Amino acid sequence: NAGVTQTPKFQVLKTGQSMTLQCAQDMNHNSMYWYRQDPGMGLRLIYYSASEGTTDKGEVPNGYNVSRLNKREFSLRLESAAPSQTSVYFCASRELWDRGNEKLFFGSGTQLSVL
Amino acid sequence: RKEVEQDPGPFNVPEGATVAFNCTYSNSASQSFFWYRQDCRKEPKLLMSVYSSGNEDGRFTAQLNRASQYISLLIRDSKLSDSATYLCVVTVNYGGSQGNLIFGKGTKLSVKP
């Protein structure tokens, strides 16, 4: 019962460095999401992918890129990390039965610090 | 006005108490409503969906008032293990087929012995 697997759990970067956060789900879900969570700000959507081959910007996409490699995997890339990107990042996939019946499954999160 | 607003708390209550959280949403076209629970330094997990007729799951009762655009969560006989942050989540359809989930900032609950 892996669910949503997210790596790494912790990462420290220097300003200007790049990195990719990996996310994979084994539940055959079409929709996948990347959120960031900051104290006092709640969860904010960075990018989402409604289905394999499509991606769309969320509320806070600047400084990030994403790739929906296949149905299972959705990666988030920071090309040139900035201190403002210090945050906890969550990947999620969405199971949708019908309107009103849905559930988000989250990965365990990545604590990222940019110095 | 924020799309989804919650009282951040913290709510500090003794074991066995009844506690209620409210959440208001601004978009009258909101379709679906949920409560998620997030433990400290963990990922959010679905607690329960909120249906128009209200719904109950053990000690937890969720209600929706579409006219006033608010959702509530009632926890009866609170346990130490209920200590967590409770996130109100609303799905709004901006034209896509699935709608987008909007999270409130969460209400922190601390249950004391």
Using an 8 Å CB-CB cutoff, list chain B residues near A101: 49
- Read off the DSSP letter of residue B97: S
* Contact across the interface for B105 and A104, Cβ inside 8 Å: no
Check residue A1 and give its pLDDT. Answer: 65
What are residue B80's phi and psi, to 5 degrees? -55, -35
More confident residue, B24 or B8: B24
With cut-offs at 50, 70 and 90, classify the pLDDT of residue B53: confident
Beta-carbon contacts of A97 under 8 Å, excluding residues fewer than 6 positions away, are: none
Using an 8 Å CB-CB cutoff, list chain B residues near A107: 43
**3-class SS of residue B82:** helix
Cβ-nearest to A107 among B43, B98, B104? B43
Residue position matching structure tokens 């909007």: B102
Tokens of A42: 């709640």
Q: Report yes or no: B98 and A96 within 8 Å, Cβ to Cβ.
A: yes
pLDDT digits (tens, 9 = 90+) for B72-97: 999 999 999 999 999 999 988 665 55
Using an 8 Å CB-CB cutoff, list chain B residues near A94: 98, 101
Cβ-nearest to A40 among B51, B98, B105? B105
Pairing of strands B70-75, B60-65: antiparallel
Angle at B47 between CA B53 and CA A68, to 5 degrees: 110
B37 closest CA partner among B102, B84, B104: B84
Angle at A44 between CA A85 and CA B87, to 5 degrees: 130
Pairing of strands A10-13, A110-114: parallel
pLDDT of chain A, 115 residues: tens digit per residue: 679 999 999 999 999 999 999 999 999 999 999 999 998 888 999 999 999 999 999 989 999 999 998 999 999 999 999 999 999 999 999 998 776 678 999 999 999 999 9
- Read off the DSSP letter of residue A73: B
Partners of A103 in the β-ladder: A95
Shortest Cα–Cα distance, A11 to chain B (Å): 15
Distance between CA atoms of residues A83 and B109, nearest Å = 30
Check residue A101 and give its pLDDT. Answer: 78
Q: Report yes or no: B9 and B109 within 8 Å, Cβ to Cβ.
A: yes
Q: How many CB pairs under 8 A join A and B?
A: 49
| Amino acid occupying residue A39 | P
Residue position matching structure tokens 């990042």: A89
| Amino acid occupying residue A57 | K
- Read off the DSSP letter of residue B113: -
Instruction: Give the B-side interface with A, CB within 8 Å.
Output: 8, 31-32, 36, 41-46, 49, 51, 87, 91, 96-98, 100-101, 103-106
